[in-house]
Amino acid sequence: MDFQTFVFYFLSAILVFAALRVITARNPIHAALHLILAFFTCGGIWALLQAEFLAIAIILVYVGAVMVLFLFVVMMLDINLDRIRQGFWNYLPLGAVLGLLMVLEMGLVLGNKALQIPASAAVTPPGVSNVKEIGRLMFTDFVYPFELASIVLLVGMIAAIALTWRGRKKSKYINPNQQVFVKAKDRLRVLQMPVEKD
């Protein structure tokens, strides 16, 4: 087994483990952290396949944006601030382990000269850029689904706004024009009532 195959199996094992933990972990934050690990490992496997654009995209988009947002939401749901602060120390060991694992993975895949892995068998010829090819296809052959995907995003936006927007908050705004024309009888009501005797 050459080094490259070893790296592949290593990453795959971590990926399967992390994915299993996502659905078995009882603590939602643990699940989210493992999901980050799974995405990151996935990026590593793609980098092995020389699909560097996908690898970078999954790390930037999923790990960088989607998952962090997800973690925020999970933490927001737990409003007790003290418990979140306590949580920091509780989650630190797991976070540190996962972080180290990611650094190790990055080292294996991108690595220094000593660990430099040979290109995989399915190499692209030199001079062909992954990003360029994806970009070219996206705007020529796949322009129709590309445009439709933008409409799917638009629908997502419309749906999110329609489902959450509850109208402007009633502010304590005062109309001076109406105030000027206020008369005593608008504010004060004089009632006629029989005298009460006790």
Partner 1 sequence: MFDQFVVPDLLPAAPEIFLVVMASAILLIDLFVKDSRRTATFALSVLTLLGCAVIQTMTWTPDITYTFSNMFVDDQMADLLKLFLYLTVIMVLFYSRAYVIDRGEMNKGEYYVLALFATLGMMVMISANSFVTVYIGIELLSLSLYAMVALNRASLSASEAAMKYFILGALASGLLLYGMSMIYGGTGSLELTAIDEVLRNDGANGKLLVFGLVFLIAGLAFKLGVVPFHMWIPDVYHGAPTSVTLLIGSAPKLAAFAVVMRLLVNGLLPLAVEWQNMLIIMAVLSMAIGNLAAIAQSNIKRMLAYSAISHMGFMLLGIVSGVVGDASGQFDAAHHALAAYGSAMFYVIAYVLMSLGTFGMILLMARSGFEADTLDDFKGLNQRSPWFAAVMMMLMFSMAGIPFFIGFFAKLSVLMAVIDAGHTWLAIVAVLFSLIGAFYYLRVVKLMYFDAPEDATPIGGSADMRLLLSVNGVAVAALGLFPQVIMALCAFSLLNSLN
56 in Cβ contact with 134 (< 8 Å): no
Q: Does residue 184 bind partner 1 (CB under 8 A)? A: no
Q: Does residue 149 bind partner 1 (CB under 8 A)? A: yes
Q: Does residue 148 bind partner 1 (CB under 8 A)? A: yes
Q: Does residue 143 bind partner 1 (CB under 8 A)? A: yes
Least Å distance between CB 141 and partner 1? 4
Report the 3 state secondary structure along the chain: CCHHHHHHHHHHHHHHHHHHHHHHCCCHHHHHHHHHHHHHHHHHHHHHCCCHHHHHHHHHHHHHHHHHHHHHHHHHHCCCHHHHHHHHHHHHHHHHHHHHHHHHHHHHHCCCCCCCCCCCCCCCCCCCCHHHHHHHHHHCCCHHHHHHHHHHHHHHHHHHHHHHCCCCCCCCCCCHHHHHCCCHHHHCCCCCCCCCCC
Per rule CB under 8 A, count of chain residues that contact partner 1: 20
Least Å distance between CB 133 and partner 1? 10
Least Å distance between CB 108 and partner 1? 26
Least Å distance between CB 165 and partner 1? 10
CA distance 146 to 156: 15
Q: Does residue 144 bind partner 1 (CB under 8 A)? A: yes
Q: Does residue 125 bind partner 1 (CB under 8 A)? A: no
77: Cβ contacts below 8 Å, ≥ 6 apart: none
Q: What does the per-residue mask of binding to partner 1 show for 154-173, with x meaning CB under 8 A? A: xxx-xx-xxx----------
Q: Does residue 123 bind partner 1 (CB under 8 A)? A: no
Q: What does the per-residue mask of binding to partner 1 show for 39-68, with x meaning CB under 8 A? A: ------------------------------
Among 23, 81, 128, 151, binds partner 1 (CB under 8 A): 151
C-beta closer to partner 1: residue 97 or 152:
152
Name the residues that contact partner 1, by CB under 8 A. Answer: 132, 136, 140-145, 148-149, 151-152, 154-156, 158-159, 161-163
